[in-house]
């Protein structure tokens, strides 16, 4: 279910739900939940199951219960678009969470920060802590290790007989890790895994490191 990783002498835990836990800070990092996306698409006639709405909240509860963090950081795109009925569900979820919550604003986060502040949620453009910088869009900053989202990274694996599977992944470069999208109803972007990168695929209840030779080199956009 989990896979440990050490970055800049700090211990982190990757979880099969797509979240990352920073042990020393008791901080849970979650990217690209895209709440409201299911309701948004259903409004315009898309055949998306109603139960997909509740699934995101169930997964959030499982991750929070597993790690019991002091702080939760949403790494952008918490909500997909403007207010809809999922905001009420989010308010109810927030009311049952004792952890401090920070939203690092993403390109889809168009809901007024005042609404988040009324729920006790701090909204920032980025978060810097102990040589790490947390952003929504991947960035390169000298002397900083960047945690980001936005890309919805995945890795394509090809087996014998040319069968292939595309799996969400934590994608790490020397000074950056891109978290997989947490939301159930999101697309992916297939990453190009080279010798200077690491990919940790999410497969069911497991997080598995992918050898470079196992990954297909050509990426495509499916977002």
CB neighbours of residue 73 within 10 Å = 26
pTM of the model: 0.89
Rounded to whole angstroms, how far apart are CA atoms 135 and 36? 21
Q: Please, are residues 165 and 201 in contact by the beta-carbon 8 Å criterion?
A: no
pLDDT at 161: 62
pLDDT at 221: 36
Identify which of 13, 15, 5, 59 has the alpha carbon closest to the alpha carbon of residue 207.
Answer: 15
pLDDT at 90: 93
Under DSSP, the state recorded for 161 is: G
The overall longest dimension of the chain from CA atoms, in Å, is 55
Q: What is the mean pLDDT of each run of 10 residues along the chain (223 residues)?
A: 96 97 98 75 51 83 97 93 81 96 92 94 97 97 96 86 86 97 83 94 94 55 34
pLDDT at 18: 96
pLDDT at 118: 96
What 3-state class would DSSP assign to 86?
helix
Q: Decide if domain 2-214 falls under CATH 3.60.21.
A: yes
Q: Please, are residues 167 and 40 in contact by the beta-carbon 8 Å criterion?
A: no
Q: Please, are residues 73 and 12 in contact by the beta-carbon 8 Å criterion?
A: no
pLDDT at 83: 73
């Amino acid at each position: 279910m989990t896979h440990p990783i050490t970055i800049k002498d700090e211990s982190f835990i990757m979880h099969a739900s797509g979240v990352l836990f920073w042990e020393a800070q008791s901080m849970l990092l979650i990217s690209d939940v895209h709440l409201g996306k299911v309701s948004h698409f259903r409004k315009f006639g898309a055949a998306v199951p109603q139960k997909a709405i509740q699934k995101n909240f169930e997964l959030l509860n499982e991750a929070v219960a597993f790690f019991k963090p002091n702080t939760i950081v949403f790494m952008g795109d918490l909500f997909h678009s403007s207010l809809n009925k999922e905001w009420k569900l989010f308010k109810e979820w927030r009311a049952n969470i004792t952890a401090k919550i920070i939203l690092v604003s993403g390109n889809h986060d168009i809901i007024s920060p005042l609404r988040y502040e009324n729920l006790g949620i701090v909204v920032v453009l980025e978060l810097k802590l102990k040589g790490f910088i947390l952003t929504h869009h991947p960035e390169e900053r000298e002397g900083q290790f960047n945690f980001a989202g936005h890309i919805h990274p995945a890795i394509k694996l090809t087996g014998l007989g040319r069968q292939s599977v595309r799996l969400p992944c934590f994608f790490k470069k020397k000074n950056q890790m891109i978290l997989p999208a947490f939301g159930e109803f999101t697309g992916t972007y297939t990453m190009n895994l080279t010798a200077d990168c690491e990919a940790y695929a999410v497969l069911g209840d497991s997080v598995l490191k992918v050898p470079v030779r196992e990954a297909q080199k050509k990426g495509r956009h499916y977002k």
